Amino acid sequence: MLIMRPISAIAGLLILIMLSRVLSSTDYGNFFAFWAVVEILILASNLGLIHAVYRYVSATEHADGVILTTGPVWHLVWWRFCTLAFTGFVFMLIPDSIASLSKVSIFSGQILLCLIAIVFFEGIARFFESIFDSMLCQGRSQISLVSRTFFRLIGYLIFLSLGSMDLQHVLYADVIATALGALIAIYMLWDVSRKSKLSGRQTQKENIVSFC
């Protein structure tokens, strides 16, 4: 699994090279301005939740490979959903503040909706990756990261093959990629949590039987 991060980095480099060739200089610059604002909003909406994950969430692995989670995992996930949704709602109401952050006037209409969607899905995916890292489940964290990178690459290639590659289509691909990546991360954490609960119940039953 350690090789997946270098693979993601290489794929990301290929994406940048491809975009530099197919986008106009203006769209290419606006693409980086767009993602700069995304990064700012994701960080600003964190409100210390990632630090809470690293402090309160942990896990232990049984000999059979089942991971037992400890800590308020889903409570923190719920709060992260709320902070990201609130951030999107606020910037939907005051889009002029986004333009002032980036000093460009591209954030309107469909691009503004793409911004809000990407901030939400990318923020959720990264938060789940923090949870996996805190539980020492680096394999799942890397799967989440790599999946978004490859979904983006596939989306770009599809639009490129259709001959409709511009900034708006690039952002459409990013929305789909981040949404799919977030769903994968959610499923992986749900699966870990489900197996953890089943293992805990089984252990509890065994303890009751042995006590009797």
Residue-by-residue DSSP string for 53-120 = HHHH-EEEE-TTSPEEEES-HHHHHHHHHHHHHHHHHHHHH-THHHHHHHTSS--SHHHHHHHHHHHH
* CB atoms inside a 10 Å sphere around CB 161: 9
Q: What is the pLDDT of residue 3?
A: 66
* Domain regions of the chain by residue span: 28-203
Q: What is the pLDDT of residues 10-35, one digit of tens each?
A: 888 888 888 888 888 888 888 998 89
Q: Do 126 and 76 form a contact (C-beta atoms < 8 A)?
A: no
Measure the CA angle with vertex 82, ends 200 and 111; round to 5°. Answer: 125
Average pLDDT, the chain: 83
The secondary structure element, H or E, covering residue 182 is helix 167-211
Confidence of residue 183 (pLDDT cuts 50, 70, 90): very high
* CB atoms inside a 10 Å sphere around CB 202: 11
The sign of the CA dihedral 194, 195, 200, 203 is positive
Q: How far apart are CA 27 and CA 207, in angstroms?
A: 63
Q: How far apart are CA 26 and CA 159, in angstroms?
A: 19
At 67, give phi and psi (nearest 5°).
Answer: -100, 125
Does residue 116 register a pLDDT over 50? yes
Q: What is the pLDDT of residues 43-52, one digit of tens each?
A: 999 999 999 9
Please report, to the nearest 10 degrees, the dihedral formed by the alpha carbons of residues 190, 191, 196, 199 taken in order.
140
Q: Which two tokens stand for residue 98?
A: 């986004």
